[in-house]
Structure 1
């Protein structure tokens, strides 16, 4: 046992469950001769030696079971602080530290999760605890190192780490931690290196800042970005950023000196050296890696490395997914279905245009639309796209005003085109140019990812989540109508009151649906009786809910003024800026959805004049035009695509674990505020909406504008996929309907009839009474 407590880096191969994924990776790369800073590993065996020797484990587990995470953290931290390391263990750490250099040799001490689950080692425990365990920098002297190791162990029981394991039902009994102790590198520059660019193995991507690379890892500043050809190791694209912050050796941050802010961090020679360095790392690891590097003493050091596929979702083989972190929140909510090939070909045109301006990448993973969460290199093409987007912003008002009439005219002309050549001419001269104009307008307005704006986070810190959500309700841009996203739900209320005719609703909102960007799915204006069905549904009136919400909004603003009178003006300005941007995005997205109605009309008509029927949905838009022109080569591809489409549609969601227990908790990153307890109604499609009874808690895979007519009927909303400021979440916030979005496997873990308690401000759903357990009125 003693031999496993402290292991020098490069001394012996260790498993991730012994030294953590970080320690095991650094050990392997050191053994291969890569420039890893000297150091040693304190294994999970040392942690157990300390905890068992001081008889801490029973007290730790009792604290976690009996106390809330914050109080448990304080209680357990006191236990660790009261117990020194045993002499045999402390001696080994002292000897290993002495081997590194002088008595005050500076080291970095990093905790790395290294437990097993019920005896079965997990492959990458760091993925389960990343960002939740301690990193201590510039630690000097034996006593400080021993204290830092103890603090690293104690961080396994931070409130965040405890909460993380609770929500994922990870048994605390098996939680353990390894520690990496490495010599500090006084970095002239640092950053990250993707040894293969995401989705493009021919290039490498470097993010670089002055000083340590923590500002890149923690996204404290915008780094320089370099794209290098891996064969020639020459820079093919570069963006030099205004780097506003740098990290000091002790881990604190300070403003960047003015003379360095816009100065390029790396020379072409240094960039080429990093590319060679990345090739070596990738060969040793056997896969593309994301490397944290530091430049010192005229060469790069490897600080940490992890596989680029650590958070990879299953791709569909289209070559566009890449190895990166993906999300279905935000724009992905607008396209919740498995996409037909025709829809993906059209969306790719739209999203490539948007991505050229925003630098964001979109992918088709398993038939579903995803947004990349990784920083995207702003190559020259992106910079040109951004400049074009600024010019296209001037076109937005005319586009919004003219879209309803122009789209009606194009749909009429599509129906009148009775032969293929007329359809091709209409596509080339009218529909495609107008679609490209809509794409440019969408890029200019931006397609938001639904994440909370900075002003909301500041407000939340000042008044709490519930009042912050109330302040963010009742918003509209200055001098503007309410956000376009409210139109479908409030329009139905106006129809029910007799204030709006059905044909008036359909002209204004008939293009908006849960499937509005999928050209294979019908819109409300194609379905007779749709308005009568939805406007006559039972439940509260959406307009009444909005009126009731105004009282909470007024109270929240009064509280804000009373507590922080000197911050109200700045906060109001920030909220107004966000409201104006959201108003513009929502209005443009609505009219782009209307344009997709024109595209659907064209595809349907193409299926009619070619007698292909719904087979056209399995051709790309370009292939449809080829078929209309007499070239049927593409038709052979449709059969295989249909099989793949049906396979994706029938593939169950892998997120659900089907593990249920009394008191089970489902979590999400954020919600819209409010608490409620009620009975669950699980709906897998909005077409099942008639089953939702007033006062039930709606649980759905995803919610978008097409789901919002159900919101007034629901006591609360829970979704597997979502973002706190996506369009559907904004509607829920305005109506005062608590919503927990992005709760992953909610539709799998919850069943219709379950009673749950929902805390939307914290993003928690707790199972109170399972439907399969008999109810009782006994005390």
Structure 2
């Protein structure tokens, strides 16, 4: 009995968009650059090969229009990435596509392979999508197309895109259906050496049969050819003594192929080929990706910003804070007369977490003579000083030359900011109050668009005011600390002493919670209610509200929410519910207060502040003469006042984020009502520029569901990863941190071949079969070999060790693209027998060694 596939059943009609007359077209030499969006990178590359008059097997391409039509037909029925993949595998195909496939592919043997729009472009996505070989019949081809489409939404592939710092959103997918060649032998031609980057040396790897042994790192031969002559410079083989598979005329032909394709691509190309009955067939062309970094290093840290926004940021939050922060920092530096290049990257995201580029901050700020890296990093949260020793210092000449122009501006800011800040705060509070009094529900789409424009202007100007007072604080801090150093005072006086006892806005919610705790402690009834499940506390309080103590507590709680209801843990994250929306966190805190042996009163808190200020005064008084002491106290007073103003303006920025949240939830409500998104909170997985475009034109929301599903999957993937070190070195595109060389001495060492640069230390995960295997983030993948089936395991791995293979094998190529350190050909002794799962090892992809650590 034959199993009936979705294509065998009575077919529901999934219609094609009218603008397309066909979903399947032949691959020809006439495919131009303008067709790339429709046919994808692989089909476009095959068209180029035909234009170069290379021997290409007959091929067709299922266009991106078919993929878009399929996704459009199922996207409203799915909730997450897993349901989307399942729908692509099982939902009816567009009727027009089924008809075309049945007409074209009733006979013959075919290969079904991905042709992603991004493929063969500036970034390579090799090994990320599925391929099905040796397919016969239209039904099997339809199943292969489904599998290729579904592979685009594989969580591992999405994580790979995100690791490359691209949006993570897959573009449309075309599918190449190519006539199968059953080769005598096959392999890969690199028109340039991908390891040494020699442009005049081509490299050919070959193996018997389909050539899977080449990309899998199994038994192969590799030929190194001089270009353009085809002269054999070197021959390497895993089977010494046997006759080489390739001889002079064929090698010369490969050199000619190299020249032809490079004239079209204008850069190095890797060519997948097959040899059958005296003919070389070209199966695929793509640009060479080597994973070669230029060696540039930078130090990144979230020691400061990580406190404000720990963990993974949603796309909406990141899209706002990224531009806001970068723009604000550049303007703040510019106000001090410092040059910031337009391309300078001051803010970045790693594993979804926000980081600051300390190297750029130190480089730019180094033009100020009195501002040392230690001072700057202490202000930023500490850490990274030793890694910044090699950062190039900017000359102070420009800064000093501009002082006649910038000094009045700096002094003006120092004078104006303290005067303007209170007026701006009053203005902001009035605007904020007006905003929350306005019923956004009743606004038209056009009025809502205008509201966002006003909100962005208010937020930007508030941010600039915050940065102005922050700059004032930075300058006054530097003057104060440098003044102490000049008198030989300082090491015993750190930030904690200079900044103790400030009256800061951010402390007010805590004080208010303390007062609520004190009220609760006086009532056994409140103690009992608050000791219950926090999620049920509010309902229990309402039930008991007839009692005076409970009613008084609820009145105080209402007052607390009115004053601080816009605050919350991770409040810089727009998706975080505020205390006015979710009071469970408050009850959790209060439960701890109830059990505390002692709660300080507001007066006790103030007395502690006074004592700290007195201690500082006494400490400095012993070191400074009276006149010098008065100057110090003036500087200290200015610094502390600037610190308090900075904290106050930070609170206004938080108010602005609360306004943003309120606004975007209204947008989410409308989109949900229009069936553009499924849930109101899905709005946080869009970007501000996308929402802005939707407000101008509601048709811009057609693709929102797809974007949200993908970004949620990436968000969850990032959340599952451990936090990067708070400070790390970025070498090229790889996160590394210093390894104590002394700690490595005396460890066992296994030698192999360097395959992908970088160094990583982690627990080994030894896997002999990829089926059902998993790799935890940060583990080192240890395998006998790696073909395409292993690729999903690479995403979470911190490094790869392989028994077989060489620098041109699939594992090496993919590891370089993933920027994962890799060592291959570690076979004496066999690495999978020496290393056990759980062993602590270091992969050194620069030197080609694996270190085994004794614990």
Asked if TM exceeds 0.5, the reply is no
Which protein has greater RCO, CA pairs closer than 8 Å, 6+ apart? 2
TM-score (norm 1): 0.37
TM-score (norm 2): 0.34
